Structure 1
């Protein structure tokens, strides 16, 4: 029989079994009870995985739909880059503002309801108004909601223990965000036949799925704290270590519970604990080089490729006689860019799903590796676009070469995202720090939320670099007699 763990809170020792927080089979229990416990744990883990996958998918899918619909949302004379800017700048503001300037506990339920309302209103504004300023306003609202939602779900993952469960949450959330690229592009392909007003209007109902999943399907985090089966604690920590290293607050009175947010480790009376700006700066300093710089660089290089280089990776339409397979895929010069985006989105989804597929996470020391590889890919694709690495008679080889590099680009981007957040989720509290458990909880939430602006700022800088990059690469092609970019 496993010993019953206890926790000390406010000087009083709490028997967790007496409080109903421990479901443990009695000594000598039969095999059926053990099997039932294992089935319950598997069901909880499955529901957790589905919930975080849904969170990632529906939080990011509107972002992809808006980018996919860019040509239909603005007049032909308007630069499409303005859509990309309005789709990322508010998200960056949310990721920068919320973790750094708001203090105290996170009220997850209120946040998610607010995000749902903002996203729905934003898409309705885009659908109902034809004027460019109103559509950009709607896009900005949806973008702000997406950025706030992403950091909120990453912070929510830190409330699950033991670490294997928190890592499980991050892995499936990242997989959902990767799937959003494929699902969003496909949905708009189907919805665009109804026109902007109906297509975007129908997509406005999607955010409602997030709060419904949160309230009615997501397992509560206390459900995982005291599972004792080997599968739950493989490569993890013991229940006693959970209690010593993770937040726990006393049980609340009915009045206190009414004032508490959902998603906390346990309901409890309000605590006068809030991280100051000095506290946050102290916490964020070790993260700058370790996590933020690799993530920023990966996204800077990745979106410079996608927005500045990929539009110029154009080749003659393959002949059906010489390249029967390519000719079925590429039937116009305009088909190349969507093909590169499809390859990119597919490989991002696969690599962001690597941890949920059961592959090991990258060691912390290798987190800069995707950014290094991404810089080489940017260099090679830039050279290929400007000067051509193969002869004009080897168009199939050119296309295959770009296909491989775009695939590696997507893999690097996805691996950087999921592994950075996974490794940060798995960090243990500093053993030398003050063991105020409410403070430890807020520190873990802040740390994983604080680095979210690194990828968004990389995308924003890339959108600025992409315009002159595309123009100069097209000029370089024209100088060597390749005029395809001028015909688009």
Structure 2
């Protein structure tokens, strides 16, 4: 029997053991919380949460912001600037230090949300959309920057980021339902509260995140290999072991795993375009497909998935849409938090299943054959599981399969697929929602016309 105590082995002491005093528990908990890698996970979780939460709140508020105007308009204002940012920024943003980027993202987010919140109802919707555009630019630049930053902090930072982005959807949609439906706050008050959230990003980067690995990774001239792991060992590692190692915590991940020299300054435009071409089929295309399908559902089909109020748990027709958003984001959160436990290597399978969801719900919007809104709830939740799973596993596959010297650029460049897919979905949704609503009205279901913007 080993003479090593539980506390010495890195575990919490067993109840009843001599070392199980409250002081021992406090010391061990403090060691865990203060550990380098724990801080990395927490920081990246908060990055994912705050970078995406305003985007989700804006989409959840789409119906209240524009009323009967197609929600695809808000989607396009929320996504196209982000898409354009991700399209062009990877070719120059590496020249801007990360700390400066974070300050820029915070400023854009706060200004954008204040414009959306403080614009009176008498003013044009266009002014609100300008605020949405500013928040979108911040979210797009933040996503490609923070995903690129995971290159310096290892796979657990990606797990934290993925879970945080999933939580953003859940928190954003849930908070909006809570603010407006449960607490009875106005749309303006809800958005003003949301404008305070970017302050958390400042704390995450400048207080919580250990900046040593970033400094080392951007100043070292040579790649610092992981100790005790030769290239030959990696080449002979079977896929299951490599997959498990990808997201398993290990000693010194934050400081040793990804301190490769940043070679982006030496890449020409031709080199970058060649790298993007190699990313398209295995990573970018399935991510694009899943986002086209799910956001066409969310913005083009979901607003028309209405049932008689007496057959639903709602008092108003406007209540269907925020609930669909909440269930979708719940599924996204669960699947984006799953990579330490479940990995998906074949990205095209869930992408195809998402297209099936789109077809099924579109047919229901036309023919009204699903007998209960609760069946739609389940499908929307499943939609979120599929979409979140493709997103986080796409970037996990890049971290596993792309060479270290190309990884930072590849992680950032691939983000264009989700915004590109959402932009395409926004264009489709503007036409699709109108056509579906007109069809329903012509066939005696005018519920989609009974929805108006909620006042400030």
Q: TM-score, normalised by structure 2?
A: 0.77
Establish whether residue 362 from structure 1 lines up as the match of residue 336 from structure 2: no
Where structure 2 has 5 or more consecutive residues not aligned to the other structure, the ranges are 12-27, 217-224, 230-242, 452-456
Structure 1 counterpart of 2:416, from 453, 476, 481: 453
Is the aligned partner of 1:92 residue 2:55? no
Contact 1:105 1:274 in 2 (8 A): no
After superposition, the Cα gap between the structure-2 partners of 1:374 and 1:90, relative to the gap in structure 1 and judged at 3 Å, is same
Q: Which moved more, 1:287-296 or 1:175-184?
A: 175-184
Q: Give, in whole Å, the separation in 1 of the partners of 2:433 and 2:173.
A: 23
2:428 corresponds to: 465
Cα distance, 1:104 vs structure 2: 5.0
- Count the aligned residue pairs: 400
2:46 matched to which residue of 1?
A: 54
Q: Tell me which of 273, 290, 300 is aligned to 2:292.
A: 300
Which one has the largest radius of gyration?
1
Displacement of 1:375 in angstroms is 1.0
Shift of 1:103: 6.5
- For residues 403-444 of structure 1, give each alpha carbon's deviation from its aligned partner in whole angstroms, at most 9, with x where no partner exists: 332222111101011100111122242xxxxxxxxxx64x32
User: Tell me, which stretches of 5 or more residues in structure 1 are unaligned?
Assistant: 1-28, 161-165, 250-263, 265-270, 320-326, 430-439
Instruction: Provide the rounded CA distance (Å) in 1 between the counterparts of 2:431 and 2:95.
Output: 44
Per the normalisation by structure 1, the TM-score is 0.72
**In 2, Cα distance between equivalents of 1:222 and 1:148:** 21
Aligned-pair Cα RMSD in Å:
3.6
Q: 1:293 to 1:30 in 2, by over 3 A?
A: same
Q: Which residue of 2 aligns with 1:337?
A: 321
What residue is the counterpart of 1:257 in the other structure? none
Instruction: Identify, as 1 or 2, the structure richer in helix.
Output: 2
Alignment partner for residue 165 of structure 2, among 155, 163, 177?
177
* Higher RCO, Cα 8 Å, sep 6+: 2
Of 193, 207, 217, the residue aligned with 1:216 is: 207
Aligned to 1:143: 136
In structure 2, the partner of 1:83 is 74
Q: Distance in 2 between matches of 1:157 and 1:129?
A: 37
Contact 2:173–2:322 (CA under 8 A) maintained in structure 1: no
Q: 1:384 aligns with which of 345, 348, 364?
A: 364
Residues 12-411 of structure 1 aligned to structure 2 (within 5 Å): 35=10, 43-74=35-66, 79-99=70-90, 101-102=91-92, 104-105=94-95, 107-130=97-120, 131-132=123-124, 133-160=126-153, 166-189=154-177, 191=179, 193=184, 195-220=186-211, 222=213, 235=245, 247-248=259-260, 273-318=265-310, 329-355=313-339, 358-363=340-345, 366-389=346-369, 395-396=371-372, 399-411=373-385
Determine the structure 2 residue equivalent to 1:3: none
Q: Helix, strand or coil: the match of 2:245?
A: coil
Per-residue displacement from partner, 1:92-140 (whole Å, max 9, x unpaired)? 11111110x3165552111111111211222233344434343322221
- Matched-pair contact (CA < 8 Å) for 1:104–1:275: no
Q: CA deviation at 1:339?
A: 2.8
After superposition, the C-alpha distances for 1:429-488 in whole angstroms (9 at most, x for unaligned) are 2xxxxxxxxxx64x3211110011111111111111112222333344455544444444
Q: Which residue is 1:323 aligned to?
A: none
